[in-house]
């Protein structure tokens, strides 16, 4: 018996920045109807933002460690009293099968 590939009944579209903002705003505006703790909601918010910024998959997120994140403050050059939050995220591999990286020999 041959298995056929299942075809999607819809077109896949990418999640854009405006969509992420709408999701996060809705979670906080309607937190009274969500059946999760504030900690769980914040964790999900963090994971969504990391995926939106990096484009990494859930499996890649599971393998990340605290050492892969560096968060820092940047002073606004126009208004020295304001700060902006910056982050540097290190991904070893993303969207690749394990063991698929090979070093070319010279």
Domain range for 23 is 17-89
100 has pLDDT over 70: no
Question: What band does 82 get if pLDDT is binned at 50, 70 and 90?
Answer: very high
In a domain, 102, yes or no: no
The pLDDT tens digits for 60-79 are 888 888 888 888 889 989 99
In a domain, 32, yes or no: yes
- As a whole number, the mean pLDDT across the chain is 78
SS (H, E, C) the chain: CCCCCCCCCCCCCCCCHHHHHHHHHHHHHCHHHCCCCHHHHHHHHHHHHHHHHHCCCHHHHHCCCHHHEEEEEEECCCCCCCEEEEEEECCCCCCCCCCCCCCCCC
Give the count of domains, the chain: 1
In a domain, 41, yes or no: yes
98 has pLDDT over 60: no
The pLDDT tens digits for 11-28 are 777 778 888 888 888 888
Q: Determine if the pTM surpasses 0.85.
A: no
């Amino acid at each position: 018996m041959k298995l056929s590939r299942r075809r999607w009944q819809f077109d896949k579209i990418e999640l854009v920045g405006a969509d992420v903002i709408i999701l996060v705003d809705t979670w906080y505006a309607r937190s009274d109807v969500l059946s999760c703790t504030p900690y769980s909601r914040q964790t999900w918010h963090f994971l969504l933002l990391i995926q939106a910024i990096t484009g990494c998959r859930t499996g890649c997120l599971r393998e990340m460690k605290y050492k892969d994140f560096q968060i820092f403050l940047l002073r606004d050059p126009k208004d020295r009293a304001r700060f902006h939050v910056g982050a540097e995220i290190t991904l070893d591999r993303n969207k690749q099968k394990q063991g698929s990286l090979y070093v070319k020999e010279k």
